[in-house]
Amino acid sequence: MGGPFLRERVFQRGAPVSGLLPRTVLDDNTQWSGNDDSGVPPPGAQCFYGFAAKYGKLAVERTIDGQTGGVFTATLLDALKGGAAEEDGRITGETLKAYLYENMKEFLSPADLADKDIAKEPDLYCEPPEDQFVIANVETNQIRCNHPASRRF
């Protein structure tokens, strides 16, 4: 899809994610490979930070769709595959945050939900304006409407 190029990059620490956003597109349409492993985005980049748990809470892994992985990661992947998309296919900082807050707990077991030490929501930050920060675009005919509860462990 067309549109203005933002300085953007999604960082995820703790688990490898292949094929999500393998590069960064800068305002001048050049690409930054980010291979320096510094974890520092290029100058002027807009940032979205997501952590599986707030300080003092535990993040959990579960077997979801036959694979063991983090609950946060499973929810994030579902969101980026279209679960967090607006009708026009845009996934913004605002829609991604809302999706993660609303759906992460759907991957938790009843025992996890009852455990006060386990995170029910992620810790998220997106630089404003969140509704203008386009993280990804998905084709509108491929927007997924899978609710995580239908794929529970």
pLDDT digits (tens, 9 = 90+) for 38-63: 666 677 778 888 999 999 999 999 99
pLDDT at position 77 over 70: yes
Q: For residue 89, give Cα distances in angstroms to 26, 29, 82.
A: 21, 21, 7
* Domain encompassing residue 94: 48-142
DSSP-assigned beta bridge partners for residue 48: 126
pLDDT at position 102 over 70: yes
Residue 8 lies in a domain: no
Alpha carbon 30 to its chain centroid, in Å, reads 24
Residue 32 lies in a domain: no
Residue 79 lies in a domain: yes
Helix (H) or strand (E) holding 24, with range, is strand 24-25
Give the per-residue pLDDT at 139: 85
Question: Is 0.75 topped by the overall pTM?
Answer: no
What tokens appear for 104 in the block?
């992460």
CA distance 93 to 90: 10
What tokens appear for 143 in the block?
């927007």
Residue 125 lies in a domain: yes
Alpha helix stretches (DSSP H) within 1-143: 71-78, 93-103, 110-114
- Cis peptide bond prior to 42, omega within 30° of 0: no
Residue 37 lies in a domain: no
Residue 106 lies in a domain: yes
Query: What are 22-37's pLDDT values in tens digits?
Result: 344 444 444 555 555 5
How many separate domains does the chain show? 1
Residue 109 lies in a domain: yes
Residue 30 lies in a domain: no
